[in-house]
A and B are shown apart, each in its own frame.
Chain A
Amino acid sequence: MPDTPDNAHEPRSATTPLTLVVGLGLPYALVIGGFLLFEHVDGVVFGFPPAVAWLFACMVLVPCCMAVAWWLGRARAP
């Protein structure tokens, strides 16, 4: 497999307070806050305890947060 090329000329998305909130703060709130909340909930979700099922959902939610932060940062990129 070759070392795949990357388009280094495209600007990297900028880091702004808004991208920090969306790309870093929101994932922490979702993962930690959600786990602490669902830990005390009875029942099962698709066969998993609710807190564990929530973390599985976060595996999709967290990339979404970072993708939005990337998009927001691109608008501000030089």
Chain B
Amino acid sequence: MEFLSFGMVIAASIALAVYARMRRGSGNARDFFVASGQLGGLLVFFLTIGETYSIGSVLGFSTGVYLHGAAFAGWFMGYILLSYPVGFVLAPLLWQLGRRTGSMTLADIFRAHFSSRLLEVVVAANAVAFLLPLGQMQFTGLISVMRSLHWHVTPAVLAGAGAGMTFGWVALAGVRAPAYVSVLKDVLLVLAIVAGGSAALLATGLPAAYVAAPAPAVPARQDMFVVSTIVLQSLGLCMTPQAVAFVFTARSARMVRRNQILMPLYMLMFPFLYMIAEYVRRRGLAVPSANDVFMLGITTTLPPWMQGIVAGGCAVSALVILAGVCLAIGPLVSRNMLHGLSDRGQRVGAQVVIGIYLLLCAAGAAGLGSIMVTLNNLYYLGMIQIAPGLLVALCGWRVPALAIAAGLVAGDGLAVGLYSAGLMPEGINPGLIGLAVNTLIVATAGLRRPPRAR
């Protein structure tokens, strides 16, 4: 039964991707990567909020609450929640700058504002390097969900099928495919999580089952880590290459800002996810591996046909995020790193890059067993280093391109170095320390620059 409902979800997602192709515009590179900036408010909303409802959020949040309790919930919900006010301020400015400069990618903005080919390549390379784990993360989640249903499919076959389907969506309709499929996957995930959370609530007899416990003593170092990570990731979430590309798909800056106001309301699934994690913990269910907490809660509370829908929703969720990442990486390579390709060359080149990226991620995930949270952390360490340069461009300030590139490389090196060595001075997130050094380099160069002759 669960196989049938799962199949129906997958079939519906393919039908939506085909419909998205019928809605496509001129078929040039701009239409393929950013829908010619013509998407309406609803589609931009679902496309942009996809990160909140990613498989990483669903599985990662449940796992984190199960393992670490309230401290994890605070960090995870805090950074997502605060990314919306940041987007409220930044996204309309990004949209305007993108329109003014004809940008399609994050690196386009840097090329246009700083007139530097070197900086364009450095920004593109930084984005591609730190986006790599995100693709693996989606496949890891997909494999974890399927394993919970006990279907006899090897991880390699599963990852291969997921890669093939994602490539098919992207090739069919470009960015319109994840936009349209996002609507389906979000509706399914909300229904599934609310159903699972409610079932967990009834099964446990909550809230009576919760006994008021004294608040644990929290060391200042842990508080510092939570706060610095919330600040780092709430800023970083708005500056990822795919988030920037999604802003460029919108028809107006007003629409982009208005959407940000409504997005936190969409987080109301988190109480239900919390209940599912608490249910698994308090019932003492045997969890095969850390990422299985959510699906264990679902398989023990919901009937088989609903398990299939949840698994389908999770699978589509992973592939939609993956498609967004692919559509960010493709043009960063074919447009920004391989300069001078024709419009058709950029599209074809991006599809080749996407194909290779999907194969690499699928191969990596088939043999990957680590917890998603680690990958999530590494992703933000690098992404946030784009912030000083982007802020300079958005404010129209003049800073030498070399200083922006030097700050970015220094920030990356310091953040990843500290993280790899396990060093966190006073509990501060290494990414934020890297960002501080990065900002210092950019600010020093900006202040030392002589004013332009009028």
A residues engaging B (CB < 8 A)?
Answer: 1-8, 10-13, 15, 20, 23-24, 27-28, 31-32, 35-36, 39-44, 46-52, 55-56, 58-60, 62-63, 65-67, 69-70
Give which listed residue, A7, A20, A41, A48, contacts B89 with CB less than 8 A: A20
Decide yes or no: A12 and B212 within 8 Å by CB, A62-B84, A62-B85, A70-B261 being known contacts. Answer: no
Least distance between B344 CB and chain A CB atoms (Å): 24
Contacts A41-B215, A42-B212 known; list 10 others, CB within 8 Å.
Answer: A3-B38, A3-B40, A8-B252, A24-B86, A42-B214, A44-B207, A44-B211, A55-B77, A66-B260, A70-B257
Contact A1 B251 (CB under 8 A): no
Binds A, one of B5-13, B264-272, B292-300, B348-356: B264-272
* B75-95 to A contact mask, C-beta < 8 Å, 1/0: 001100110111011001100
Contact B183 A60 (CB under 8 A): no
Query: Which size class do B's interface residues fall under?
Result: 35 or more
Judge if B258 is at the interface, Cβ distance under 8 Å: yes
Decide yes or no: A32 and B78 within 8 Å by CB, A12-B254, A47-B210, A51-B70 being known contacts. Answer: yes
Least distance between B272 CB and chain A CB atoms (Å): 11
Contacts of A2 in B (CB 8 A): 23, 40
Contact A44 B210 (CB under 8 A): yes
Contacts of B40 in A (CB 8 A): 2-6
Judge if B218 is at the interface, Cβ distance under 8 Å: yes
Contacts of B180 in A (CB 8 A): 1
CA distance A1 to B16 in the complex (A): 9
Contacts of A4 in B (CB 8 A): 40-43
Q: Of B41, B78, B81, B82, which is in contact with the most chain A CB atoms at under 10 Å from its CB? A: B81
Least distance between A38 CB and chain B CB atoms (Å): 9
B residues engaging A (CB < 8 A)?
Answer: 23, 35, 38-43, 69-71, 73-74, 77-78, 81-82, 84-86, 88-89, 92-93, 180, 183, 206-207, 209-215, 218, 223, 226-227, 230-231, 251-255, 257-258, 260-265, 267-268, 270-271, 274
CA distance A40 to B217 in the complex (A): 7
| List of 10 A-B pairs having minimum Cβ-Cβ separation, nearest first | A47-B207, A4-B40, A12-B254, A8-B252, A3-B40, A27-B85, A66-B261, A49-B70, A47-B210, A6-B255
CA distance A31 to B82 in the complex (A): 8
Contact B85 A65 (CB under 8 A): yes
Contacts of A1 in B (CB 8 A): 42-43, 180, 183
Give which listed residue, A12, A23, A60, contacts B85 with CB less than 8 A: A23
Give which listed residue, A13, A59, A69, contacts B268 with CB less than 8 A: A59
Contacts of A51 in B (CB 8 A): 70, 73-74
Give which listed residue, A40, A41, A69, contacts B88 with CB less than 8 A: A69
Contact B70 A52 (CB under 8 A): yes
Q: Of A4, A10, A20, A40, which is in contact with the most chain B CB atoms at under 10 Å from its CB? A: A4
Contact A66 B73 (CB under 8 A): no
Can you show 20 pairs from A to B with CB atoms below 8 A apart? A4-B41, A4-B43, A6-B40, A10-B254, A15-B89, A27-B85, A39-B70, A39-B223, A40-B215, A40-B218, A44-B212, A49-B70, A49-B215, A52-B70, A52-B73, A59-B265, A62-B82, A63-B261, A63-B264, A66-B260
CA distance A39 to B74 in the complex (A): 9
CA distance A69 to B258 in the complex (A): 11
Contacts of A31 in B (CB 8 A): 78, 81-82, 230
CA distance A39 to B220 in the complex (A): 12
Contact A42 B251 (CB under 8 A): no
CA distance A31 to B73 in the complex (A): 12
Contacts of A8 in B (CB 8 A): 251-252, 254-255
Decide yes or no: A59 and B261 within 8 Å by CB, A2-B40, A28-B85 being known contacts. Answer: no
Contact A12 B253 (CB under 8 A): yes
CA distance A39 to B89 in the complex (A): 29
Least distance between B98 CB and chain A CB atoms (Å): 15
Contacts of A48 in B (CB 8 A): 210, 271, 274
